[in-house]
Structure 1
Amino acid sequence: MTDDLNQRAHDLDVTVWVGKAGLDPVVDELRDQLEAEELVKVKFLRSARGGTTTEELAEELADRAGATLFRTRGHTGVFRR
C-alpha cells in the first residue's frame, strides 16, 4: 500500500501553491481538494517560506486543514485526507 501511495504521490501535479499571502488563502482550497482526491500536492514558494521551513509550513497547513501530511520533499508537500 505504501509503495502504491508513494508512486501516486510522485506522479501528482501540484494543484495548490502557497505564496506571499501565506496559508490563510489555501486552507479551504486544500480541504476542498481532499474531499475529491485522496492525495494533494502543494508547492511552498520562496515568498511563503520567509524565515521558516517547508516542513514547518506543511505541518501547520495540515493541522489547519484537518489533513495528514504524507511527506515533504524539497519545497513541496503531499497531503492526505
Structure 2
Amino acid sequence: MKATWNGVVIAESDDTVLLEGNHYFPEASLKREYTSFSNHRSSCPWKGQARWLSLFVNGEMLNDAVWYYPEPTDAAQEIAGRMAFGQGVTVA
C-alpha cells in the first residue's frame, strides 16, 4: 500500500492494518520529512485520543492529514505504533 499526496509518496508498506475503512501504516514507513506539527487532537470512545500531523509537500500544506493513537486503548492495540491518512491523501 502507498499513501500519496501532491504527487509524493508519504508512506509505503505491505504491512497495514485495516480498521474502520482506514489503512494504518507502521510509523516507521512514514516519511517524516513531509510532516509538520499540528495541535489538533480528537477522541474516539473505543480507540482513545488521537494526535494529528499536517503534511507539507512541494510548497503546499495539508492540515491535519495524518492521525495516530500514541496510547491506544486495550481494544485498539492492533493500531499501536501505526498511522492513518485522510483529507485528500490517496491510499492504494
* TM-score normalised per structure 1: 0.31
Higher helix share: 1
Larger radius of gyration: 2
